[in-house]
C-alpha cells in the first residue's frame, strides 16, 4: 500500500502565512510504501431521523463505496493534538486473503454507540 501524507497548516492562520508554509518542505506531500495485515473501513454515520412509521431507518452501503478510501484519490483529514494531516491510500497489490476491520463502534465520554449500517457484499 502507498500512503500519501500532507501536513496542513493551522486553519486560523492568515492566508499569506498559510501560502508561505505550504512552500516549506515540511508541508509537501510524502509517499511511504507499507505492508498491511488488514484494512480498516470507516462506515458513514448513521442517520439521526426516523421514518414515517416512527421506526429507525437502517442504512445500507455497498462494500465498494467504503473501499473507496483505498483508491488513491479519496483524501481524508486526520487530526492529532497539535497537527492536521491529509492522507490518501492506494492499494498496489492485494494479498491472497484480505481481512476487513469495519469500525462500527464510536466512543464518547458517557457510552459506546454502535453504527447499525448494513454493508452489502457482492456475491461474485
Contact status, residue 43 vs residue 115, Cβ threshold 8 Å: yes
- Of the candidates 31, 20, 32, 27, the one whose C-alpha atom is nearest the C-alpha of residue 6 is 27
The model's confidence at residue 122, banded by pLDDT at 50, 70 and 90, is: confident
Spatial neighbors of 98 by CB under 8 A, at least 6 apart, are: 38, 39
Residue-wise pLDDT for 30-78, tens only, equals 899 988 888 888 888 776 666 666 666 778 889 888 888 899 888 888 8
Residue 49's pLDDT is 64
Percentages helix, strand, coil for the chain (3-state, rounded to 5) are 15, 35, 50
Residue 62, strand partner residues: 120
Percentage of the chain beyond pLDDT 70 is 91
Residue 89's pLDDT is 92
Residue-wise pLDDT for 80-118, tens only, equals 778 888 899 999 988 888 888 888 888 878 888 888 888
Helix (H) or strand (E) holding 10: none
Residue 56, strand partner residues: 50
Residue 90's pLDDT is 92
Residue 58's pLDDT is 76
Q: Which of the pair, 79 or 71, is modelled with greater confidence?
A: 71
Specify the pTM: 0.70
In the structure, how many helices (H) and strands (E) does the chain have? 2, 10
Cα dist from 14 to 8, 41, 84, whole Å: 13, 35, 16
* Max CA separation in the chain (angstroms): 56
Amino acid at each position: 500500500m502507498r500512503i500519501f501524507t500532507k501536513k496542513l497548516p493551522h486553519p486560523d492562520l492568515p492566508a499569506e502565512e498559510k501560502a508561505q508554509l505550504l512552500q516549506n518542505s515540511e508541508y509537501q506531500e510524502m509517499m511511504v510504501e507499507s505492508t498491511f495485515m488488514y484494512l480498516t473501513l470507516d462506515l458513514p454515520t448513521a442517520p439521526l431521523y426516523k421514518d414515517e412509521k416512527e421506526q429507525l431507518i437502517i442504512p445500507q452501503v455497498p462494500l465498494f463505496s467504503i473501499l473507496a478510501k483505498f483508491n488513491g484519490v479519496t483524501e481524508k483529514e486526520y487530526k492529532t493534538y497539535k497537527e492536521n494531516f491529509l492522507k490518501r491510500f492506494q492499494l498496489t497489490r492485494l494479498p491472497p486473503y484480505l481481512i476487513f476491520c469495519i469500525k462500527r463502534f464510536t466512543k464518547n465520554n458517557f457510552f459506546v454507540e454502535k453504527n447499525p449500517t448494513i454493508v452489502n457484499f457482492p456475491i461474485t
